[in-house]
Chains A and B, each alone.
Chain A
């Protein structure tokens, strides 16, 4: 199993999938700050002063995280950042769900309709992506060669 997780083709595929998802998620928001700010507002989660700043910067963090995941630059950093963002989204989504907020999540597209079922799907999606990101983070380095140490030469 571990060998499989360390497998470089598996790692590359996983990174590319995650990267595409991140870029796809950011695409609708990069230049649509106002709508994204509204989507964040509906979570009633962040202090209102931070909402716009978050809406300005977050999509670009997503975009660059996705870009780095795909290209394989800063693998550890990008997968860790992806995991941190996904955990943050997970907390926001779960708390919205627990408080019974009937909101559209603003995760991928900003045009989604609101329905409670939607949030559950998003939470599940988020958990899968988080698992993927953590696998990349943990296993992205080549497996250390575990060759047996050369036997001590006894005279």
Chain B
């Protein structure tokens, strides 16, 4: 009984400290999370985008249908990546979106989405901001970027998509079905 009382004391003290720290922390969070803000699923509803062809390498082109994924600037000042369905991923693929493979080089070499670039998250996250900018500067900031990894519950695509979005890319999306689903659907792969 005495032990339980002491545990209760520890928990209460922790709660007081935690809530106070959160209240004074400028990066504090809301007490109750209402939805998973980490990866928005709104774009999953959309199946296609019409009349738009992307050119990821043309850094001068302004995308006409801006915010096709209805992205909004968040408080950190970048547009949050959104989860997309396999149908939309294929639709974007047909419109020449830039596919980014977040897995490591060996996995990329064994098979990847046709035309995808290899950008392992593990390497990318360890690079300085300047290096990241240098890597990404040859791509159009308004171009559509689709990040994927293995599939299932692979989280690296989310992390990489956020890092790319933080560099100012406006239409980054996360295709969580990944290479697994892509292959199952029989969509184009390399090599």
Residues of A within 8 A of B (CB): 30-34, 37-38, 41-42, 48-49, 51-53, 55-61, 63-65, 68, 74, 76-78, 80-81, 99-104, 111, 113-114
> How many residues of B sit at the interface, in one of the four size bands?
35 or more
A59 engages B10 (CB within 8 Å): no
Picked from A30, A38, A99, the residue with its CB within 8 Å of the CB of B38 is A38
Residues of B within 8 A of A (CB): 3-4, 6-7, 9-11, 13-15, 17-19, 21-22, 25, 27-36, 38, 121-122, 125, 150, 152-156, 159
List 10 tightest A-B contacts by C-beta distance, closest first. Answer: A77-B6, A60-B14, A57-B18, A61-B14, A60-B18, A56-B18, A52-B33, A101-B153, A74-B6, A60-B17
Question: What are some 11 contacts across the A-B interface (CB < 8 A)?
Answer: A34-B27, A41-B36, A48-B34, A51-B33, A52-B33, A57-B11, A57-B14, A63-B17, A100-B153, A102-B153, A113-B121
A23-B152 Cα distance, complex, nearest whole Å: 34
A39-B24 Cα distance, complex, nearest whole Å: 22
A42-B152 Cα distance, complex, nearest whole Å: 13
Inter-chain pairs besides A60-B14, A64-B13, A114-B155, 5 sampled, C-beta below 8 Å: A33-B27, A34-B29, A42-B38, A55-B29, A81-B11
Known A-B contacts A49-B33, A64-B14; A56 and B156 likewise in contact (beta carbons under 8 Å): no
B6 engages A31 (CB within 8 Å): no
CB contacts (< 8 Å) of A37 on chain B: these are 29, 33
Identity of the chain B residue whose Cβ is nearest the Cβ of A74 in the assembled complex: B6
Identity of the chain A residue whose Cβ is nearest the Cβ of B39 in the assembled complex: A41
CB contacts (< 8 Å) of B28 on chain A: these are 33
- The smallest beta-carbon distance between A123 and chain B, in angstroms, is 17
A48 engages B10 (CB within 8 Å): no
A76-B11 Cα distance, complex, nearest whole Å: 15
Known A-B contacts A33-B25, A68-B10, A76-B6; A52 and B156 likewise in contact (beta carbons under 8 Å): no
CB contacts (< 8 Å) of A74 on chain B: these are 6, 9-10
A77 engages B10 (CB within 8 Å): yes
CB contacts (< 8 Å) of A32 on chain B: these are 27
B6 engages A114 (CB within 8 Å): no
CB contacts (< 8 Å) of B122 on chain A: these are 113
A100-B22 Cα distance, complex, nearest whole Å: 32
B10 engages A53 (CB within 8 Å): no
- The smallest beta-carbon distance between A100 and chain B, in angstroms, is 6
Identity of the chain B residue whose Cβ is nearest the Cβ of A30 in the assembled complex: B21
